[in-house]
Chain A
Amino acid sequence: MLGDIFDAKFLRKLESLCIECKKTYSGTRKGNYEMVNKRGTSVEFADYQAYVPGDDFRYIDWNIYWRLDKLLVKTFKEEVELSVHILLDSSKSMLFPKEDKKFDYAKDLVIALSYIALSSKNSVRIATLSNGNKTSKTAKNKTPFFQQKENIFTMADFLRGLTPEGELDLVNSVLKYTFELKGRRGTIVVISDFMMKPEVYVKALNFLRFKNFDVKVIQILGANELDPFTKAKRGQIVDVETKEKKTINFSAANRKLYTDYLEDHNKQLRHFCRTRRIVYSLAKTNVKFEDFILRELPRIGFIR
């Protein structure tokens, strides 16, 4: 089962969408992804590119050469299969604050994106991000690549079997995932609360960029996480992952400090993504899921 929100109407809407990818990758199967290919396996002309040594002489447009005295190579469009990697943060922090149900929101998001990708004849894989090497060997932390829409149920079952635990080691998790991937590039969607030091996500996301992935980031935060000061007046806070403790007075002054910090933290992440051509979106669990999928993500170019 996919969940109550995934009714037929909503699924139909999802089927009309596809995940945007700004990079070109060669695919083995035909898909909805339009790849510009110099090799000209397609018949639909796409564009000209400057000749570089090694290009096939057959694609040089000699008419242009004679007219402009420039060697240009014709390129052709080709719709190929896109690999979509959805990396879901399954560390314990995704369970807290419990009232926000961040992980449930994230799982719905994964299903929706997977369904969109499968509907677009792309191959989709879900992998979990947690404490890297420390992950139990027996636990399955990723699915195979699926191409058929019917497989959405298998993916949903996989998601249902996940229990967030442990501490997130984003860098190592990403390294490990890409190492095991053996060169299958494509769009990689990282879903996490990104409650980590900037240098960690910078390192992890840059690594993905360097590996030529089309990186997309969805940061999930809950309303209580954004403003936890309404819950209590004082208390000792405990980091559910590191177990680090701190006694805090939930004063107005502290509230401002907290919200300012969080805003700044999110701004840094957003700025980093923007400057690195990474599509970034903040998913607040109190925002209606359908609105986020059908309005917010197309608006920012995540999907089209």
Chain B
Amino acid sequence: MGFINLIALGYLALISLVVLIYFFSKKKNVIEVPSIIPWKVLKEDVVRSRLFKVDLLFLLQILALLLLIFFLTRPYLRSSIINISGKNIILIIDSSASMQTSEDDGSRFDQAKSQALKMISNLNQWDKMMAISASSSSEIISEFTNDKHKLDKAINKLRPKDTGTNLEESLSLGISFLKNVERGEMHVLTDQSPSSISFTKLKAENIKFIRYGKNFANVAITSFDVYQDMFKDYTEREAYVTIKNYSDDNQNVILNVFLNSEKIEEKEIELKSNEQKTLKVKNFTTSGILKAEIQTNDFLSVDNTAYAIINKIKPINILLVSNDNKLKSELEKIRRSAHRIRITRIEVPDYAPETIKNYNAAIFHKFVPENNPDINSLYIFPSTNTSDTQTKNTEEGNIFSTLLVPKQRLVKNVKLLDWDNTHPTMKHLDNLDELSIESSLEMEPPDWSTPLMKIAGNSDNPPIAFAGKYAGKRIMVLGFDISDFDFSKSDNLQALIMTLNIIQWLNPYEIEGSAKILTGGQYIPNYNVKGNIEILNPEGETLKYNFKDGTEGHFVFNDIEYVGEYKISGADTEGRFVANLFDEKESRIEPDSTDDEALEFERKDAITSTEDKKNEFSKYLLLFVPLILLLEWLLYYRKVRAGTA
């Protein structure tokens, strides 16, 4: 037995205090009598017969005090505990698309799963295991546990994804856990080679790669693009399917193309080893989901299908708010070649916020409405002020124009220096610097926008054009007046192309199929998401999301795990997108010949250790204190009743 807090023994001095209390309580009751003779017949009181004589009450008080002091010293009894520490296994299961490759005895994923279940069944009772699923992202499917049932359940629930593999991220995650456990082992069940991972990182840890995959014949659709714009009819639109043979042998491939489940094309091609061919598909009759499927003798089917969306052709109604008819007449030239464009001009004084309800896009010429019109908009020369420098004050000017163009300055003889040709509005504009702009506004772009055109002179100067997304709507601002250009003249071809790009960019119907979304990636809707929405994925699973009122969120959908069509539905939202694999790493299912023997792996064993444990027991003794106090009270009460207290 030992004591953790020996200092508490100092409280033993309190016993002397109790003795003193007894001593003084005795001293104070001295009664002087004329003679002791009549008192001699009485028996001397046993308690008070001496200067200090202990009685049961005193003993109980001392006992209670000793117990309290004993409690404060925190006594303990030593005991030895035999600990058996098992190993901690981190299991990483590759659940990427390539693991769906068929092998002789099931898919690679099935083999990995069986191996995982076998490992679980072989776990000793003191071993613990953690399971991580590795696809495009990492997911801990089970924390460290020795509950085999729980582990089995987690593994059985696991399904392969149609995504690429970010095995490095999963390994980093696993290693971070591995560093914090004793007798750790990491088992990576994958078809990838360790050579694809930072070897130094792997060598430092106790990692074993268990690799799957013997078959390697695979043909995949590596890209599927539809060329479509608002100026093309369905029949003019074209789709291009690129098919690649990752096998060592020649492969005969039959390509079937379906538009809304109706086969519209069937082609047969032969691909040599590592050869890729692009096939054109056209003659579409309507909008919808375009599905390309190849039939061939390969072992991975997930990359044999690709999807695309044929956008619906809809007329685009553009509201032009301008006091000047010149811009209308220039835009009319575009309308004549592109019948889908319908332009309606109104004078600035006639503009009212409710006017725009029937339009798909708006062009504000030398005018900025007081409030955000909540429509995809182009603002041309958003100032009528001709002064050289103007700084708008938020307190004086209208709020939206201040938000749109906080600062602006008029510059003459503009010479374009640079423009962002990656932006959709700047496509096909290789010689934009040839454009002759007499005067333009230099505008400080708001935070939500991207500068598009910069002029020579000072590269730090604000741009003369910028575009961005504000309150869910696309907004482009041009500091110069495009009505200065005659679109029929060849010199102004650049201005025409830019205007067409802008109109196309502002068209809300063209947005739907424009994004090329890959599995494991993200989908960001081009509209504000409100309330409850549901997303139906290709596996038929419905994923539900809730956006509370007032939290119009920038919704990013990350759960794109399967190839196919995703349908989005909500209170006032309808949309869809398609996701494809298009991952060469996944399609190249040939096992890497790199040997992983360089990795040192040590199989850990459970160890038995004896640990000295201090078992504090003072709290149990403390339970006696109330008992003693009760006993003391009873004794005292009895003495009071007997008159001997």
Contacts and interface: CB of A to CB of B under 8 A. Distances in A.
A166 B45 CA distance: 28
Given A196-B37, A237-B39, A265-B38, A249 B45 contact: yes
Contacts of A257: 41-42
Interface in B1-45: 26, 29-45
Given A233-B643, A234-B29, A247-B48, A262 B38 contact: yes
A193 interface: yes
A235 interface: yes
15 contacts: A97-B33, A97-B34, A233-B645, A236-B29, A237-B39, A239-B34, A239-B35, A239-B36, A244-B36, A246-B39, A246-B42, A247-B47, A249-B45, A261-B38, A265-B38
Interface in B169-208: none
Nearest to A263: B38
A173 interface: no
Contacts of B458: none
A240 interface: yes
B98 to A, nearest CB: 98
A240 B38 contact: no
Given A96-B33, A195-B34, A248-B44, 17 more contacts: A97-B34, A196-B35, A197-B37, A225-B34, A232-B31, A233-B645, A236-B29, A236-B30, A236-B31, A239-B35, A240-B33, A241-B34, A242-B36, A247-B45, A247-B48, A248-B45, A261-B41
B48 A234 contact: yes
Contact residues of A: prevailing secondary structure? mixed
B49 interface: yes
Given A248-B42, A250-B643, A251-B643, A240 B34 contact: yes
Interface of B: 26, 29-45, 47-49, 642-645
Contacts of A265: 37-38
A231 interface: yes
Contacts of A241: 34-35
A238 B34 contact: no
A233 B641 CA distance: 12
A94 B42 contact: no
Contacts of B47: 247, 249
A254 interface: yes
A245 B508 CA distance: 115
Contacts, number: 105
A198 to B, nearest CB: 10
A31 to B, nearest CB: 37
Contact of B36 (A233, A246, A252): A246
A258 interface: yes
A157 to B, nearest CB: 26
Nearest to B642: A251
A196 B44 CA distance: 20
* B interface, over-half SS: loop
B89 to A, nearest CB: 77
Nearest to B644: A249
Contacts of B642: 251
Contacts of B31: 228, 231-232, 235-238
A280 B34 CA distance: 21
A224 to B, nearest CB: 10
Contacts of A141: none
A93 interface: yes
A95 to B, nearest CB: 8
Contacts of B43: 254
Nearest to B40: A246
A237 B47 CA distance: 14
A234 B45 contact: yes
A258 B32 contact: no
A230 B644 CA distance: 14
A88 to B, nearest CB: 15
Counting chain B CB atoms within 10 Å of each CB, the highest count among A92, A102, A236 belongs to: A236
Nearest to A265: B38
A96 B35 CA distance: 9
A-B complex: 10 closest residue pairs judged by Cβ atoms: A235-B29, A195-B35, A247-B48, A93-B34, A239-B36, A251-B643, A247-B45, A249-B45, A96-B34, A261-B41
Contacts of B42: 246, 248, 254, 257-258
A195 B30 contact: no
Contacts of B38: 195, 258, 261-262, 265
Contacts of B49: 247
Contacts of B39: 237, 246, 248, 258
Interface string A90-130: 00111111000010000000000000000000000000000
A301 to B, nearest CB: 28
Contacts of B41: 257-258, 261
B32 A238 contact: yes
